[in-house]
Amino acid sequence: MDEIFGIPAPLLFGQLLLGLINGAFYAMLSLGLAVIFGLLNIINFTHGAQFMMGAFAAWMLLAWAGLGYWWALVLAPIIVGFTGIILEKLFISRLYKLDHLYGLLLTLGLGLIIEGVFRNQFGSSGLPYRIPAELSGAWDLGFMYMPIYRGWVVVAALFFCISTWLIIEKTRLGAYLRAATERAELVQAFGINVPRMITLTYGAGVALAAVAGVLAAPIYSVNPQMGSNLIIVVFAVVVIGGMGSILGSIITGFGLGIVEGLTKVFYPEASATVIFVIMAIVLLARPAGLFGRA
């Protein structure tokens, strides 16, 4: 049992674990997208830029205000979420009655503008951000060296994913939200301020992206392109999971992270494409996605 398919078992376990960690990012980002799409019917292509803004907010808080990682984890989502609310009020709210395509074009454009502004301001090669002292170091698992911070990322991502799912599925607020997606006029007639609820939902979805950005800052280079590298994969995750399905996006996020991790062992050259191959197959077999309602 030392080898599985010609790959030493310890190496394979290591890759499974790493895949799970990457899956954590996919899950958090696709969750935000699913929430926004589910309630606003907007395909939020600004999501990658907002992920990047989260990482930059963490860097700015440290460099300009001296506030460390834990503060960033609380403040960055609030700040970036607030910018999301402004965007929603100013631009996105005007598009709810139009075709999806308009929302897609607007958010894509906004994303490119935000990315360009950051690149102009901070350059393209990125800024350093250190792992917080409490989480630096690593565990020796025998089959691999496991950085404590990566373990923390998985735990934190699971926490945020499950909380979001619970809020939407199990609370009164979540019930209002779900009701508003089905019959907005009816919910409004019961005295609930639907436009405000939608604005706050967008802010929350954006805040989730920012949290992922803060989590990513110590691992990846904090640079303006960091979001656009991830976002296309994350969209594929959302499509595979089923547009708008909260639980679907969480499970697919982690699952595809593992699939990608395994591809990196068996055929590294295909690791960037394997998710899209799966997407094509899923779309052929189940056009609504694995967890979507047709």
Partner 1 sequence: MELGRRSMLGAFAVSTLGAAMPRMGRAQAANTIRIGVMNDQSGTYKDNTGPGSVACARQAIEEFGAQGFNVELIAADHQNKPDVGVNLARQWYDQGIDMILDIPTSSVGLAVQNVAKEKNKIAINVGSATSDLTGAQCSPSGLHWAYDTYQLARTTGGATVKAGGDTWFFITADYAFGHALERDTGDFVKAAGGRILGAVRTPFPGTTDFSSFLVQAQATRAKVIGFANAGSDTINCIKQAAEFGITRRGTKLAALLMFITDVHSIGLEQGQGLVCSETFYWDLNDRTRAFTRRVLPKMPNLYPNMIHAGCYSATLHYLKTVKDMGVAAAKAATGTDIVNRMKAMPTEDDAFGAGTIRQDGRKLHPAYLLEVKSPAESKAPWDYFKVLQTTPAGEAFRPLNQGNCALVRS
CA 114-27-63 angle, to 5 degrees, is 45
Q: In angstroms, what is the minimal distance from the CB of 63 to partner 1? A: 12
Q: Among candidates 104, 96, 53, which has minimal Cα distance to 214?
A: 53
Nearer to partner 1 (CB atom), residue 26 or residue 291: 26
Binding track, positions 103-132, relative to partner 1; x by CB under 8 A: -----x---x---x--x---xxxxxx-xx-
Long-range contacts of 160-168 (CB under 8 A, 24+ apart): 160/28, 160/31, 160/208, 160/211, 161/27, 161/28, 161/31, 161/250, 164/31, 164/35, 164/208, 164/246, 165/246, 165/247, 165/250, 168/35, 168/246
DSSP state of 147: E
Closest CA to 148 of 158, 159, 161, 135: 135
Cα–Cα distance for residue pair 98/60, rounded to 1 Å: 37
Complete DSSP assignment for 107-139 = HHHHHHHHHHHHHHHH-SS-B--PPPGGG-SEE
Site for partner 1 in 130-169 (CB under 8 A): 130-131, 138, 144-145, 147, 149-150
The one-letter amino acid at 236: A
Residue 120: CB minimum distance to partner 1, A: 8
Query: At residue 219, what is the residue type?
Result: I
x-or-dash pattern for partner 1, window 46-65, by CB under 8 A? --------------------
- CB of 65 or CB of 138, closer to partner 1: 138
Partners of residue 113 on adjacent β-strands: none
Smallest gap from residue 229 Cβ to partner 1 (A): 5
List CB contacts of 235: < 8 A, sequence separation 6 or more: 33
The interface with partner 1 within residues 211-250 (CB under 8 A) comprises 219-221, 223, 225-226, 229-230
Q: Of 12-20, 55-63, 78-86, 162-170, which segment contacts partner 1 by CB under 8 A?
A: 12-20
Beta strands in 243-286 (DSSP E): none
Q: Which stretch binds partner 1 (CB under 8 A): 14-22, 71-79, 180-188, 243-251?
A: 14-22
* Residue 10 vs 287, nearer CB to partner 1: 10
User: Could you give the string, one character per residue 260-279, with x where binding to partner 1 holds by CB under 8 A and - elsewhere?
Assistant: -x--xx--xxxxxx------
Smaller CB separation from partner 1, 75 or 127? 127
Chain positions contacting partner 1, by CB under 8 A: 8, 10-11, 14-15, 18-19, 21-22, 108, 112, 116, 119, 123-128, 130-131, 138, 144-145, 147, 149-150, 219-221, 223, 225-226, 229-230, 261, 264-265, 268-273
